[in-house]
Chain A
Amino acid sequence: MAKLILTFNKQVIKEYPFVKDSITMGRQEDNTIVIDNLAVSGYHAKIDKVGGEYFLTDLQSTNGTFVNDQKVLSHKLSHGDNIVIGKHVILFVATEKEKIEGEGKDKKVPLDKTMLLDTAKQRELLARQKVASSTAKIPQKIGVISFIDDSGLGEIELSKKLTKMGKGATSEIKLSGIFMGATAATISRRPSGYAISFAGGMTKLKVNGTVVKGSVPLNDFDTIELGSYKFQFYQKEVKSS
């Protein structure tokens, strides 16, 4: 069984055999290895055992996690690695079997087999990791268009993944005008963010004064013109439930 040896000023404080699939280190009392020092974050780092390998992950700690004097975000542990958290040093000791396996392999070969992070504990840790640090939170945002013409349409939240604008019956945002296309333009939410595209009809689409014939990404406070309509795009945070 692999183990971790917690040391401070070269003095061994405690040994921790690796009995679970996942352990955490930090200042909070529910960590596997509790390190009561102000330089250590509440949940500072974790080690997951995945398919016989051990992976160290820094949980966005304030002062960072170091392995053999290198700052790491994630690191595959090898026998004898020194993990430094604040002023504490944790020595990783692999079992005899793991040591032999580790030496036999070329260590540069990456783990090329896809695996799933699977145990309930690991999932919980991952969830907690997001809550533990405010900077780690990914804010959920939704796009809004705000009409600044005199159409009286006001603000419209883009609650659909694909919003069609035009005078057709299938358009979510109805716009009028003789030359307005049934679908004149569309706004889509993509992995990289929102984008607007020209879709058809004889009404020109302009973003920040430039005519768009294909599609362009939308940034906060871009001004969009579609015929006599004029509106601004921005994103607002959604309160996650």
Chain B
Amino acid sequence: MLIKSSGMTDVGLQREGNEDSFSVQDTFGFYMVADGMGGHLAGEVASRVAVEIMTKSFSKWMESQSPPEEIFGFPDESLSREGNYVLGSIRLANRVIYEMASEYEQYNGMGTTIVSLLVGPGRVVAANVGDSRMYLVRDKRIERMSKDHTIVAEHVEMGVMSEKEAARSPLRHILTRNLGSSENVDAEVFEIEPSSEDLFILCSDGLTDLVADEEILKAALKEPDPQRLNRRLIDLALERGAHDNTTVVAVFLDQVEKKRRSALGRVGWLAADALSGMNRIKRKLGL
């Protein structure tokens, strides 16, 4: 599998500091965007701590292939081993930020969102807490691979508010979950199979507040280079006033192995069709 990736952040036009952090690690295929919140420098600290703790714990577990029982928190049975490493690293980062926030006065009330992507052979793990998002662009369509933890997203899920109303609601920036505000946190984790020409985009709400899903798709289809795509997306946010820090990480996959394209394979397809047809007839006849 080939991976092309790039990350970019911009402070925007109205904020003084940048509270977003991101990480691009091709060795493990691990990518993250975090959007911190909290007074003074606390937001910056929270997002940076999240990215650092997750990177360290995840790579440690991954390198030693730790059994799921040995990672932080109870394993989730519905997830793969790698999925549990990601989940564990989010839980650990949450605990560390929570302890820091309650221990030190200057960090009181700090927190951060997180969205992370793990690309492995045969499996992609998408995880998030808060309103930083992940998109998958595949077959010229865009799909969200994260779930927003906001009041309005809950209203949309309950069917009492449309996506359009949610995008304009004054409550859209009010989170129901983040890293750092409580001792334990539930993360949203999804697993899918990778496919050639998949494009994953991780971003903070500085982008999604100003650029609609369809516009992200349009930009992605025009720009096959991750760095240039990031530039294009951030420029869009800047053109529209960029009231918040904007961060984008783009990950392009290629040559994801699917053993079926050889000439021999084509002959095999025909034979397989014929054989499965025969099998069906044989079973029907009770042979």
A192 to B199, CA, bound (A): 18
Checking B151, B173, B192 against A162 with a beta-carbon cut-off of 8 angstroms, the contacting residue is: B192
Which of A17-25, A93-101, A109-117 lies at the interface with chain B?
A: A109-117
Contact string against A for B residues 254-287, beta-carbon threshold 8 Å, 1 for contact and 0 otherwise: 0001111000010011011101100110010000
B42-96 contacts to A, CB under 8 A, are 77-80, 83
Which of A5-13, A31-39, A81-89, A177-185 lies at the interface with chain B?
A: A177-185
With contacts A115-B37, A161-B83, A161-B189 known, is A60 near B160, CB below 8 A?
A: yes
Interface size on A, residues (CB 8 A): 55
With contacts A191-B145, A191-B146, A214-B138 known, is A162 near B191, CB below 8 A?
A: yes
User: Cβ of B122: which chain A residues have Cβ within 8 Å of it?
Assistant: 164, 170, 183
> Nearest Cβ distance between residue A223 and chain B, in whole angstroms?
14
User: Cβ of A169: which chain B residues have Cβ within 8 Å of it?
Assistant: none
> Nearest Cβ distance between residue B135 and chain A, in whole angstroms?
10
User: Cβ of A228: which chain B residues have Cβ within 8 Å of it?
Assistant: 276, 279-280, 283
> B276, A227: Cβ atoms under 8 Å?
yes
User: Cβ of B154: which chain A residues have Cβ within 8 Å of it?
Assistant: 126
| B227 in contact (CB, < 8 A) | no
Q: Decide if the interface of chain A is mainly helix, strand, loop or mixed.
A: loop
A178 to B279, CA, bound (A): 11
| A156 in contact (CB, < 8 A) | no
Interface size on B, residues (CB 8 A): 67
> B83, A116: Cβ atoms under 8 Å?
no
A38 to B255, CA, bound (A): 64
User: Cβ of A114: which chain B residues have Cβ within 8 Å of it?
Assistant: 35, 37, 113, 130-131, 173-175, 205, 244
With contacts A74-B152, A117-B151, A201-B260 known, is A111 near B181, CB below 8 A?
A: no
A189 to B190, CA, bound (A): 7
> B272, A227: Cβ atoms under 8 Å?
yes
B265, B276, B280, most chain A CB atoms within 10 A: B276
Q: Which 8 A-B pairs have the closest CB atoms?
A: A179-B272, A162-B191, A161-B191, A202-B268, A76-B170, A188-B192, A202-B272, A227-B276
Give the B-binding residues of A (Cβ under 8 A). 50, 55, 57-58, 60, 73-76, 110-118, 126, 130, 135-136, 138, 149-150, 159-162, 164, 170, 177-179, 181, 183, 186, 188-192, 195, 197-204, 214-215, 227-228
Give the A-binding residues of B (Cβ under 8 A). 35, 37, 77-80, 83, 111, 113, 122-123, 130-131, 138-139, 143-147, 151-152, 154-155, 157-161, 165, 168-176, 178, 181, 188-193, 195, 205, 209, 243-244, 257-260, 265, 268-269, 271-273, 275-276, 279-280, 283
20 A-B pairs within 8 Å (CB atoms) are namely A74-B161, A74-B169, A110-B170, A112-B209, A116-B111, A116-B181, A160-B79, A161-B191, A162-B192, A164-B122, A179-B268, A181-B259, A189-B191, A191-B144, A191-B188, A192-B143, A199-B258, A201-B260, A202-B272, A215-B138
